[in-house]
Amino acid sequence: MTISTAPAPDPKVGKATAKPGRRRFRPGQARDWWLGAAMVLPAVALAVTFKLVPLGRGVSTSLESSSGFGESSFAGLDNYTRMLDDPTVLSSFRNALLVVATLPVWIVLPLVLAVLIHQRTPGWKLFRAVYFIPYTIAPILVGIMFRQILAPEGPLNTMLTSVGLEPLALEWLNGRYSALFSLVAVALWSFFGLGVMTYLAGLAALPDEVLEAAYIDGAGFWRRLFSIVVPMLRATVAYWSVLCASGVLIWLFPLIYALTQGGPGDATMLPEFLVFQTTFQFLDRGYGSAIGIALFVFVAVLSIFSVRHMFKEGTRKR
Protein backbone atom coordinates (compact mmCIF):
# COMPACT_ATOMS: atom_id res chain seq x y z
CA MET A 1 0.00 0.00 0.00
CA THR A 2 1.34 3.35 -1.02
CA ILE A 3 0.77 6.48 0.95
CA SER A 4 0.34 9.73 -0.98
CA THR A 5 2.77 12.38 0.04
CA ALA A 6 1.15 15.21 -1.97
CA PRO A 7 0.99 18.36 0.16
CA ALA A 8 -2.41 19.59 1.29
CA PRO A 9 -3.71 22.60 -0.64
CA ASP A 10 -2.95 25.87 1.06
CA PRO A 11 -6.17 27.89 1.54
CA LYS A 12 -4.19 31.14 1.35
CA VAL A 13 -3.22 30.42 -2.24
CA GLY A 14 -6.85 30.47 -3.38
CA LYS A 15 -7.44 33.68 -1.51
CA ALA A 16 -4.39 35.28 -3.03
CA THR A 17 -5.39 34.42 -6.57
CA ALA A 18 -8.95 35.70 -6.15
CA LYS A 19 -9.42 39.18 -7.55
CA PRO A 20 -10.38 41.61 -4.82
CA GLY A 21 -13.39 43.90 -5.23
CA ARG A 22 -15.33 41.59 -7.54
CA ARG A 23 -18.66 40.42 -6.19
CA ARG A 24 -19.87 36.97 -7.18
CA PHE A 25 -23.58 36.33 -7.66
CA ARG A 26 -24.98 33.22 -6.15
CA PRO A 27 -27.50 31.26 -8.29
CA GLY A 28 -30.37 32.49 -6.14
CA GLN A 29 -29.33 36.12 -6.51
CA ALA A 30 -29.07 35.85 -10.27
CA ARG A 31 -32.52 34.28 -10.45
CA ASP A 32 -33.99 37.09 -8.32
CA TRP A 33 -32.30 39.69 -10.52
CA TRP A 34 -33.73 38.22 -13.72
CA LEU A 35 -37.15 37.86 -12.12
CA GLY A 36 -37.09 41.52 -11.04
CA ALA A 37 -35.98 42.60 -14.51
CA ALA A 38 -38.78 40.58 -16.10
CA MET A 39 -41.33 42.25 -13.80
CA VAL A 40 -40.06 45.76 -14.52
CA LEU A 41 -39.51 45.35 -18.26
CA PRO A 42 -43.21 45.62 -19.33
CA ALA A 43 -43.63 48.87 -17.39
CA VAL A 44 -40.43 50.28 -18.89
CA ALA A 45 -41.51 49.22 -22.38
CA LEU A 46 -44.91 50.89 -21.96
CA ALA A 47 -43.34 54.08 -20.58
CA VAL A 48 -40.86 54.29 -23.45
CA THR A 49 -43.48 53.48 -26.09
CA PHE A 50 -46.28 55.75 -24.89
CA LYS A 51 -44.33 58.46 -23.03
CA LEU A 52 -40.78 58.98 -24.20
CA VAL A 53 -41.29 58.22 -27.90
CA PRO A 54 -44.30 60.60 -28.26
CA LEU A 55 -42.40 63.24 -26.27
CA GLY A 56 -39.42 62.97 -28.58
CA ARG A 57 -41.71 63.07 -31.61
CA GLY A 58 -43.44 66.15 -30.20
CA VAL A 59 -40.13 67.94 -29.73
CA SER A 60 -39.08 67.17 -33.30
CA THR A 61 -42.47 68.24 -34.69
CA SER A 62 -42.29 71.53 -32.75
CA LEU A 63 -39.18 72.39 -34.79
CA GLU A 64 -41.05 72.01 -38.08
CA SER A 65 -43.30 74.25 -40.12
CA SER A 66 -46.31 72.50 -41.61
CA SER A 67 -49.67 73.26 -43.12
CA GLY A 68 -52.17 70.47 -42.70
CA PHE A 69 -50.86 66.93 -42.43
CA GLY A 70 -48.71 66.95 -45.55
CA GLU A 71 -45.01 67.57 -45.85
CA SER A 72 -43.22 69.82 -43.40
CA SER A 73 -40.00 71.80 -43.40
CA PHE A 74 -37.48 72.54 -40.67
CA ALA A 75 -38.27 75.81 -38.89
CA GLY A 76 -35.86 75.75 -35.95
CA LEU A 77 -37.10 77.78 -33.00
CA ASP A 78 -39.50 79.90 -35.07
CA ASN A 79 -42.56 78.29 -33.46
CA TYR A 80 -41.27 79.09 -29.98
CA THR A 81 -40.45 82.72 -30.79
CA ARG A 82 -43.87 83.01 -32.42
CA MET A 83 -45.52 82.08 -29.12
CA LEU A 84 -43.97 85.10 -27.41
CA ASP A 85 -45.92 87.42 -29.72
CA ASP A 86 -49.17 85.45 -29.78
CA PRO A 87 -51.76 87.04 -27.45
CA THR A 88 -53.85 83.85 -27.39
CA VAL A 89 -50.92 81.77 -26.12
CA LEU A 90 -50.02 84.37 -23.51
CA SER A 91 -53.64 84.58 -22.40
CA SER A 92 -53.88 80.78 -22.12
CA PHE A 93 -50.86 80.60 -19.83
CA ARG A 94 -52.16 83.52 -17.79
CA ASN A 95 -55.40 81.59 -17.33
CA ALA A 96 -53.30 78.57 -16.35
CA LEU A 97 -51.66 80.59 -13.58
CA LEU A 98 -55.10 81.65 -12.34
CA VAL A 99 -56.15 78.00 -12.24
CA VAL A 100 -52.99 77.07 -10.33
CA ALA A 101 -53.81 79.84 -7.83
CA THR A 102 -56.95 77.89 -6.86
CA LEU A 103 -54.90 74.90 -5.67
CA PRO A 104 -55.37 75.71 -1.95
CA VAL A 105 -59.11 75.12 -2.42
CA TRP A 106 -58.44 71.79 -4.17
CA ILE A 107 -56.23 70.73 -1.25
CA VAL A 108 -58.13 72.04 1.79
CA LEU A 109 -61.76 71.41 0.85
CA PRO A 110 -61.45 67.60 0.44
CA LEU A 111 -59.47 67.50 3.69
CA VAL A 112 -62.22 69.27 5.63
CA LEU A 113 -64.89 66.99 4.24
CA ALA A 114 -62.76 63.88 4.90
CA VAL A 115 -62.27 64.89 8.54
CA LEU A 116 -66.02 65.49 8.96
CA ILE A 117 -66.74 62.03 7.56
CA HIS A 118 -63.99 60.41 9.63
CA GLN A 119 -65.36 61.81 12.91
CA ARG A 120 -68.72 60.17 12.17
CA THR A 121 -70.72 63.31 11.44
CA PRO A 122 -74.44 62.36 11.19
CA GLY A 123 -75.04 60.88 7.74
CA TRP A 124 -71.34 60.18 7.20
CA LYS A 125 -71.94 56.85 5.42
CA LEU A 126 -74.21 58.53 2.87
CA PHE A 127 -71.87 61.46 2.33
CA ARG A 128 -68.88 59.15 1.87
CA ALA A 129 -70.58 57.65 -1.18
CA VAL A 130 -72.17 60.90 -2.41
CA TYR A 131 -68.88 62.79 -2.53
CA PHE A 132 -67.20 60.09 -4.60
CA ILE A 133 -70.00 59.62 -7.14
CA PRO A 134 -69.08 62.73 -9.24
CA TYR A 135 -65.61 61.29 -9.83
CA THR A 136 -67.16 58.20 -11.42
CA ILE A 137 -69.01 60.29 -14.05
CA ALA A 138 -67.18 60.88 -17.33
CA PRO A 139 -65.94 64.51 -17.47
CA ILE A 140 -67.56 65.09 -20.87
CA LEU A 141 -70.93 64.14 -19.36
CA VAL A 142 -70.26 66.46 -16.42
CA GLY A 143 -69.62 69.28 -18.87
CA ILE A 144 -72.83 68.63 -20.82
CA MET A 145 -74.81 68.48 -17.57
CA PHE A 146 -73.43 71.73 -16.17
CA ARG A 147 -73.83 73.49 -19.50
CA GLN A 148 -77.56 73.11 -18.93
CA ILE A 149 -77.41 73.95 -15.23
CA LEU A 150 -75.35 77.13 -15.74
CA ALA A 151 -77.30 78.39 -18.76
CA PRO A 152 -78.77 81.93 -18.42
CA GLU A 153 -82.24 80.43 -18.02
CA GLY A 154 -80.98 77.27 -16.36
CA PRO A 155 -81.95 75.72 -13.02
CA LEU A 156 -79.31 77.60 -11.00
CA ASN A 157 -80.39 81.08 -12.08
CA THR A 158 -84.04 80.10 -11.78
CA MET A 159 -83.46 79.01 -8.18
CA LEU A 160 -81.52 82.17 -7.30
CA THR A 161 -84.24 84.36 -8.77
CA SER A 162 -87.00 82.49 -6.93
CA VAL A 163 -85.36 83.05 -3.51
CA GLY A 164 -84.74 86.77 -4.07
CA LEU A 165 -81.06 86.54 -5.10
CA GLU A 166 -81.58 87.79 -8.63
CA PRO A 167 -78.36 89.93 -8.58
CA LEU A 168 -76.41 86.66 -8.25
CA ALA A 169 -78.08 85.16 -11.34
CA LEU A 170 -75.18 85.68 -13.73
CA GLU A 171 -74.36 84.47 -17.21
CA TRP A 172 -71.96 82.00 -15.69
CA LEU A 173 -70.41 80.68 -18.89
CA ASN A 174 -70.62 83.89 -20.91
CA GLY A 175 -69.02 86.40 -18.56
CA ARG A 176 -65.43 87.47 -18.98
CA TYR A 177 -64.52 86.69 -15.37
CA SER A 178 -67.25 84.30 -14.31
CA ALA A 179 -66.54 81.76 -17.08
CA LEU A 180 -63.13 80.65 -15.77
CA PHE A 181 -64.44 80.62 -12.20
CA SER A 182 -67.36 78.44 -13.29
CA LEU A 183 -65.05 76.09 -15.18
CA VAL A 184 -62.82 75.59 -12.13
CA ALA A 185 -65.85 75.11 -9.86
CA VAL A 186 -67.24 72.37 -12.13
CA ALA A 187 -63.81 70.68 -12.30
CA LEU A 188 -63.54 70.81 -8.52
CA TRP A 189 -66.99 69.25 -8.15
CA SER A 190 -65.99 66.50 -10.56
CA PHE A 191 -62.59 65.57 -9.12
CA PHE A 192 -62.51 66.44 -5.43
CA GLY A 193 -64.18 63.13 -4.47
CA LEU A 194 -60.86 61.44 -5.26
CA GLY A 195 -59.21 63.78 -2.77
CA VAL A 196 -61.77 62.90 -0.10
CA MET A 197 -61.07 59.18 -0.57
CA THR A 198 -57.31 59.83 -0.49
CA TYR A 199 -57.55 61.71 2.79
CA LEU A 200 -59.90 59.10 4.29
CA ALA A 201 -57.32 56.43 3.54
CA GLY A 202 -54.71 58.48 5.39
CA LEU A 203 -57.03 59.23 8.31
CA ALA A 204 -57.77 55.51 8.73
CA ALA A 205 -54.12 54.98 9.71
CA LEU A 206 -54.15 57.65 12.44
CA PRO A 207 -54.64 56.63 16.09
CA ASP A 208 -58.12 57.65 17.21
CA GLU A 209 -56.88 58.20 20.76
CA VAL A 210 -55.05 61.37 19.77
CA LEU A 211 -58.11 62.98 18.21
CA GLU A 212 -60.32 61.88 21.08
CA ALA A 213 -57.89 63.33 23.62
CA ALA A 214 -57.86 66.65 21.78
CA TYR A 215 -61.67 66.68 21.70
CA ILE A 216 -61.85 65.96 25.44
CA ASP A 217 -59.35 68.76 26.10
CA GLY A 218 -61.73 71.19 24.38
CA ALA A 219 -59.94 71.69 21.07
CA GLY A 220 -62.34 72.93 18.40
CA PHE A 221 -62.71 71.47 14.92
CA TRP A 222 -60.31 73.88 13.20
CA ARG A 223 -57.76 73.59 15.98
CA ARG A 224 -57.82 69.79 15.70
CA LEU A 225 -57.61 70.05 11.93
CA PHE A 226 -54.57 72.30 11.64
CA SER A 227 -52.75 71.42 14.87
CA ILE A 228 -53.21 67.64 14.91
CA VAL A 229 -54.60 66.22 11.67
CA VAL A 230 -52.49 68.16 9.17
CA PRO A 231 -49.13 67.48 10.93
CA MET A 232 -49.94 63.79 11.29
CA LEU A 233 -51.29 63.57 7.73
CA ARG A 234 -48.41 65.52 6.22
CA ALA A 235 -47.37 62.85 3.71
CA THR A 236 -50.92 62.35 2.42
CA VAL A 237 -51.50 66.09 2.07
CA ALA A 238 -48.22 66.40 0.18
CA TYR A 239 -49.17 63.51 -2.13
CA TRP A 240 -52.57 65.02 -2.97
CA SER A 241 -50.92 68.43 -3.48
CA VAL A 242 -48.51 66.96 -6.03
CA LEU A 243 -51.33 65.14 -7.81
CA CYS A 244 -53.41 68.33 -8.04
CA ALA A 245 -50.47 70.52 -9.07
CA SER A 246 -49.54 68.23 -11.94
CA GLY A 247 -53.08 67.31 -12.97
CA VAL A 248 -55.12 70.49 -12.65
CA LEU A 249 -53.89 71.75 -16.04
CA ILE A 250 -54.47 68.47 -17.88
CA TRP A 251 -57.84 67.48 -16.40
CA LEU A 252 -59.87 70.32 -17.86
CA PHE A 253 -59.87 69.57 -21.59
CA PRO A 254 -63.17 67.62 -21.71
CA LEU A 255 -64.86 70.24 -19.52
CA ILE A 256 -63.64 73.11 -21.71
CA TYR A 257 -64.74 71.23 -24.81
CA ALA A 258 -68.24 70.63 -23.44
CA LEU A 259 -68.77 73.91 -21.58
CA THR A 260 -67.09 76.88 -23.27
CA GLN A 261 -64.89 75.85 -26.22
CA GLY A 262 -62.32 78.26 -24.75
CA GLY A 263 -64.68 81.25 -24.78
CA PRO A 264 -66.04 83.79 -24.38
CA GLY A 265 -63.11 85.17 -26.33
CA ASP A 266 -60.12 83.58 -24.64
CA ALA A 267 -61.50 83.77 -21.10
CA THR A 268 -61.33 79.98 -20.56
CA MET A 269 -58.63 79.18 -23.09
CA LEU A 270 -56.02 76.95 -21.46
CA PRO A 271 -52.85 75.62 -23.15
CA GLU A 272 -54.17 72.07 -23.32
CA PHE A 273 -57.25 73.10 -25.30
CA LEU A 274 -55.19 75.50 -27.41
CA VAL A 275 -52.95 72.61 -28.48
CA PHE A 276 -55.99 70.69 -29.70
CA GLN A 277 -57.44 73.72 -31.46
CA THR A 278 -54.19 74.71 -33.16
CA THR A 279 -53.33 71.19 -34.30
CA PHE A 280 -56.68 69.72 -35.33
CA GLN A 281 -58.78 72.77 -36.21
CA PHE A 282 -56.17 75.11 -37.66
CA LEU A 283 -54.02 72.15 -38.86
CA ASP A 284 -50.76 73.75 -37.70
CA ARG A 285 -48.95 70.73 -36.30
CA GLY A 286 -45.62 72.41 -35.66
CA TYR A 287 -47.06 75.33 -33.74
CA GLY A 288 -49.44 73.10 -31.80
CA SER A 289 -46.56 70.83 -30.79
CA ALA A 290 -44.53 73.84 -29.65
CA ILE A 291 -47.41 74.96 -27.40
CA GLY A 292 -47.67 71.40 -26.08
CA ILE A 293 -43.96 71.28 -25.24
CA ALA A 294 -44.24 74.66 -23.48
CA LEU A 295 -47.14 73.26 -21.44
CA PHE A 296 -45.08 70.16 -20.65
CA VAL A 297 -42.23 72.31 -19.33
CA PHE A 298 -44.69 74.44 -17.32
CA VAL A 299 -46.29 71.40 -15.67
CA ALA A 300 -42.90 69.70 -15.17
CA VAL A 301 -41.47 72.71 -13.32
CA LEU A 302 -44.59 72.94 -11.17
CA SER A 303 -44.44 69.20 -10.45
CA ILE A 304 -40.73 69.28 -9.59
CA PHE A 305 -41.28 71.95 -6.96
CA SER A 306 -44.25 70.02 -5.60
CA VAL A 307 -42.36 66.70 -5.48
CA ARG A 308 -39.40 68.32 -3.74
CA HIS A 309 -41.75 69.79 -1.16
CA MET A 310 -43.43 66.40 -0.72
CA PHE A 311 -40.04 64.73 -0.23
CA LYS A 312 -39.03 67.27 2.39
CA GLU A 313 -42.35 66.88 4.19
CA GLY A 314 -42.16 63.10 4.04
CA THR A 315 -38.62 62.94 5.44
CA ARG A 316 -39.09 65.58 8.12
CA LYS A 317 -38.73 64.19 11.62
CA ARG A 318 -41.94 64.18 13.56
- Model pLDDT, residue 7: 53
- CA-CA distance, 196 to 106, in Å (whole number)? 10
- Model pLDDT, residue 26: 63
Give per-residue pLDDT as tens, 271-314.
999 999 998 888 888 999 999 999 999 988 888 877 776 666 55
Give per-residue pLDDT as tens, 141-158.
999 999 999 998 889 999
Better pLDDT: 30 or 94: 94
**What fold, for 79-315?**
MetI-like fold (1.10.3720)
- CA-CA distance, 57 to 244, in Å (whole number)? 27
User: 44 with 53: CB under 8 angstroms?
Assistant: no
- CA-CA distance, 218 to 224, in Å (whole number)? 10
- Mean model confidence pLDDT for the chain: 84
Q: Is the pLDDT of residue 266 over 60?
A: yes
Give per-residue pLDDT as tens, 67-100.
776 677 888 899 999 999 999 999 999 999 999 9
- Model pLDDT, residue 289: 92
Give per-residue pLDDT as tens, 38-65.
899 999 999 899 888 988 988 998 998 8
User: How many residues does this entry show for the chain?
Assistant: 318
- CA-CA distance, 128 to 118, in Å (whole number)? 9
Give per-residue pLDDT as tens, 164-193.
888 888 889 998 889 999 999 999 999 989
- CA-CA distance, 248 to 256, in Å (whole number)? 13
